[in-house]
Amino acid sequence: MYHWSIGQLALARDALGLRMLEGTMSRRAKGRVAPPPRLGPAAQAVAEEVASLAGVTVQAHWEIGSQTAVNGTDFYVGEDELGHIHLDGEAHVPLGRALAKVLIDAGLGARFPWSREFVVVDTAELAHAVWVFGLRRAQIDGVADAELGTRIRDRASRKA
């Protein structure tokens, strides 16, 4: 079993030369690579859409501290975490503290209790869940948070 402190994760990221969002782990730091599990119908539909995005790698999401207990599906672009979907269908997408707050304040995501860097997304809403993963993909591709904030506010105004 692996038990990593936040400090150890930061040191590992720096040693690998990675520039990721706080609270995320590189694909290499996650450890053993295994095929993802089959999720429930709604979550599986989201997983298949996210997996079809260019350059996305899909693998098992491990229970914290384990390399054997699967708890969902991880999505990566290179070494950057795109997000993950747990076996219970709850999706967690890392957007960074500021952008996560914009999404939550707009009513388009929920606060993740363990980190303000992530948002919780309901996979029962396929198009919306895929859209949030797409925001993270755009962020990884270098789209500025200001532009992503505008996209969030535009979507919120259309839903109102």
Cβ atoms of 70 and 62 closer than 8 Å = yes
What's the CA gap between 26 and 21, in Å, rounded?
A: 10
Residues 14-67 pLDDT 10s: 444 334 566 565 555 566 677 888 999 999 999 999 999 999 999 987 667 766
Q: pTM score, two decimals? A: 0.82
- Who contacts 156 (Cβ-Cβ below 8 Å, separation ≥6)? 106, 107, 108
Cβ atoms of 78 and 55 closer than 8 Å = yes
Cβ atoms of 40 and 76 closer than 8 Å = no
